[in-house]
Amino acid sequence: MSENPHASPVEPVDPAAGTPEQAAVVDLLGLLALGELTGFARLAADSDAAPTLTARAALGRHACREFGHYELLAERLRALGVEAAAAMAPFEPVLARFHERTLPATWAERLVKAHVGDSIATDFYREVAAYVDDDTRDLVLQVLDRGSAEDAGSVEGFLVSAIREAIATDPASSGRLALYGRRLVGEALAQAQQAVVERDALATLLVGGVPGRSADLAEVGRMFTRMTEAHTQRLANLGLAS
């Protein structure tokens, strides 16, 4: 698709503008908004590839929900004086690298990526949200609520049930899906670390730049350890050896 020659180029947000905490909030909301917008497009594509009408409808419904989350984040960014496109732009390469390196080859892998990949991202956003203001944290947690695996009507419930059904139908696929799950977490953690490294505001937030709301380097390491452990537990819950 050719670019619109009349469109204005998107300028990334200047992280030096405002206080370090304000810049970090914009970065967090921009990264999450891009994740939700990308998630919408990916779930819509998964819906189109679904083998049954029931799965197509469920994924389509959840895709619409992701877009609604994006709009909430875009609205908050506008209230902060920042256009969503500008806040998201710096993170496009990071998310593009993750998705390019974790392309699913089968329907079951699509389901695993939607469940495990998005859950890893959710863990990261929850961890970072611990160091921002209460209003921002409440919004982030609202957007990240994907329901429980026990709730068949939630996105998590649908995905977990569909993955288990796919494994039951083809038990030999479990080893391949476990390998794919490990690749997802490796790439997700690598790109999350890259996002922090490339954006001074996020890095400063996590390693001690905001009094009263800061972690340290040791805590950052523990954060990624917790994310890895949560991923291992998810695979175990699916019956996939990690």
Handedness of CA 85, 88, 89, 92 (dihedral sign): negative
CA angle 214/36/87 to nearest 5° reads 60
Separation of CA 108 from chain center: 19
Which two tokens mark 62?
Answer: 């959840």
Encode 64-103: b = buried (16+ Cβ within 10 Å), e = exposed: ebbeebbebbbebbeeeebebbbbbbbbeebbeebbeebe
Handedness of CA 108, 114, 119, 121 (dihedral sign): positive
Handedness of CA 109, 50, 69, 142 (dihedral sign): negative
Q: Sketch out the chain's domains with CATH numbers.
A: 20-237 (1.20.1260.10)
**Residue pLDDT tens, the chain, 242 long:** 333 333 334 444 454 456 777 888 999 999 999 999 999 999 999 999 999 999 999 999 999 999 999 999 999 999 999 999 999 999 999 899 999 999 999 999 999 998 888 888 888 888 888 888 899 999 999 998 876 656 666 777 888 889 999 999 999 898 999 999 889 888 888 888 888 777 877 777 776 544 444 556 677 777 888 888 888 888 888 878 65
Q: What is the per-residue pLDDT for 101? A: 92
Q: What is the per-residue pLDDT for 151? A: 64
Of 60, 77, 215, 201, the C-alpha closest to 139 is 77
